[in-house]
Amino acid sequence: MGLSIQGIQKSFDEKVILDGVTFDVQDGEFVSLIGPSGSGKSTLFGIIGGLLEPEAGDITMAGTSIVNERGHISYMPQQDALFPWRTILDNVVLGQELHGKVDKTQAKEMLEFAGLGDVIYAYPHQLSGGMKQRASFIRALLSPQSVLCLDEPFSALDEFTRLDMQKWLLKTWEAHRQSILFITHSIEEALFLSDKIVILTNSPAKVKEVIDVPFARPRDESLLLTEEFLIWKRKVLDLVAKRAV
C-alpha cells in the first residue's frame, strides 16, 4: 500500500487552503493532481514533504503515519534545482547521498538511458532546459524513497520540449514503475501520463472528483489524437469547469 492522504486540513491566517483533502497513491501508480493555480497544490506537497504541519488529517505510507516527518518522499521541483557546482553525475546521486548509498554505476546507466551519457561530467549551466529537467527527474528516481512527488516539472519548458519530455518520462517511468504524485495544470498532460487524476476545487481545495484513466499502457503520442482521448479531455474539462456545489 503506497501513499495515503486522509482528510488533510490546512489554513493560513484563518483562510482555509486545504479542506479535508483525501486520496490514495497505490504502489506503482501514477497519480496526477490538477486544479487551478493557487488551489493549494504546492501547500499539499509541503505537508506531504513534512515542511508544513496540517491542522487535521493524516498521511500514511505503507500504513505508518509520516505527518510532520521529512525525508519519506523523493521530490522533483518546478525549476530543475540542480546544484551549479556539481557535475550532472554528482547531482543525480544527491538524493542517495542524503538517504542511503551512492551507486554511481547505476547512476551512469540511468543517465545513458536518458540520453545524457555525453554530459555526465558537465555542469548544469552547460545543459539545455529539457536536459536539466531530465537530470532532475533521474535524481528523483535514483533517490531511495518509493514515492516521487513531481511539482509541475515541465511548466517552464516550451511546447515542443514539453511533449518530448512527457514521452520520455512515460518511457522511463514504465521501465521503473515507481509511485508518482504529479502536480500539473495541464489536463492533456494529466490524461496522457497518469493512471488516476485527482481534481481539486479552488479555495478551499477539496477533492472534487477522482478519475480512473482508462488508456492502456504503454502509451505513445498517437493517443493524443484519438477520438477517445478527446472525449476524455472534454469530460475532465467539464468537471474542472463545473462549480463546486
**Residues contributing to the site for another protein (CB under 8 A):** 45-46, 49-51, 69-75, 77, 79, 81, 83-85, 94-95, 97-99, 123-126, 143, 149
In terms of CB distance, is 98 or 237 closer to another protein?
98
The closest alpha carbon to 229, from 190, 178, 183, belongs to: 190
Is the Cβ–Cβ distance between 1 and 38 less than 8 Å? Answer: no
In terms of CB distance, is 26 or 78 closer to another protein?
78
In terms of CB distance, is 149 or 211 closer to another protein?
149
In terms of CB distance, is 81 or 223 closer to another protein?
81
Burial grade of 216 (CB within 10 A; 0-12, 13-18, 19 or more): exposed
Strands (E), the chain: 3-12, 15-25, 30-34, 56-61, 64-65, 74-76, 147-151, 179-184, 196-200, 207-212
As measured in angstroms, the least distance from the Cβ of 233 to another protein is 31
Record the cell numbers describing residue 78, joined without a space: 518546478
As measured in angstroms, the least distance from the Cβ of 41 to another protein is 14
Supply the DSSP symbol for 129: H
CA distance from start to end of the chain: 32
As measured in angstroms, the least distance from the Cβ of 75 to another protein is 4
In terms of CB distance, is 151 or 195 closer to another protein?
151
As measured in angstroms, the least distance from the Cβ of 23 to another protein is 20
As measured in angstroms, the least distance from the Cβ of 54 to another protein is 16
